Structures are given as structure tokens and as C-alpha cells.
């Protein structure tokens, strides 16, 4: 089922599929930009770890690395969600 989902998503252009709604397209653009930003940050973390370690990591070091990366992405996602929420509110997405 997971393979089928990824297969179908690889064949469908989501931007064209959601082009009927301006709001859904905007939300897709926001989500996609966040995914690309997180992917770049993760690759930077991975490359920095690889460049700073000569030998393999011990179990403790790998746990420290994973927890640090998780903490970074958790804080970044909270900060980004607040900024995006404020931006969406200023553009009239919420009717509060």
C-alpha cells in the first residue's frame, strides 16, 4: 500500500491536481517549501557530521546526534508554524 501511494504520487502532478482551488495550491506550495527547506537542512547536518568524524560514531554519539537533529527540527517547525500562521492570517485565510 505504501509503495502504491508513492507510485501514484510520482505519476501525478499535485500542483496541477489542486489547481482548481487557489487556497489548496497555496497550502501545497507552503508544504512543499517546508519539505525542501527541511531536506536541505538535514543534508547539511549529515554532511557536517560526516566531515567532522574520522571513524564511525559510537552508540552514545549517534544518539546525541539524532537527539540534536530532532530537537533542531522540532524547534524549527514550531517557529515556522507560528510565522506561517501569522502570514496566512494577514492574507485572510482565517475568519477569526
Q: pLDDT per residue over 5-50, tens digit each?
A: 888 888 888 888 888 988 888 888 888 899 999 999 999 999 998 8
CA pseudo-torsion sign 83, 86, 91, 96: positive
| C-alpha cell at position 48 | 557536517
| Confidence grade of residue 55 (pLDDT, cut at 50, 70, 90) | confident
- Determine what percent of the chain is predicted with pLDDT higher than 90: 34
**Which of 72, 2, 11 is CA-nearest to residue 38?**
72
Three-state DSSP class for residue 9: helix
Q: pLDDT per residue over 77-92, tens digit each?
A: 999 889 888 887 888 7
Amino acid at each position: 500500500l505504501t509503495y502504491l501511494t508513492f507510485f501514484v504520487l510520482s505519476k501525478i502532478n499535485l500542483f496541477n491536481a489542486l489547481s482548481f482551488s487557489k487556497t489548496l495550491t497555496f497550502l501545497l506550495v507552503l508544504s512543499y517549501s517546508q519539505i525542501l527547506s527541511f531536506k536541505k537542512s538535514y543534508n547539511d547536518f549529515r554532511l557536517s557530521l560526516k566531515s567532522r568524524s574520522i571513524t564511525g560514531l559510537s552508540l552514545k554519539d549517534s544518539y546525541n546526534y539524532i537527539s540534536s537533529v530532532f530537537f533542531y527540527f522540532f524547534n524549527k517547525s514550531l517557529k515556522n508554524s507560528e510565522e506561517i500562521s501569522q502570514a496566512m492570517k494577514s492574507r485572510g485565510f482565517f475568519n477569526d
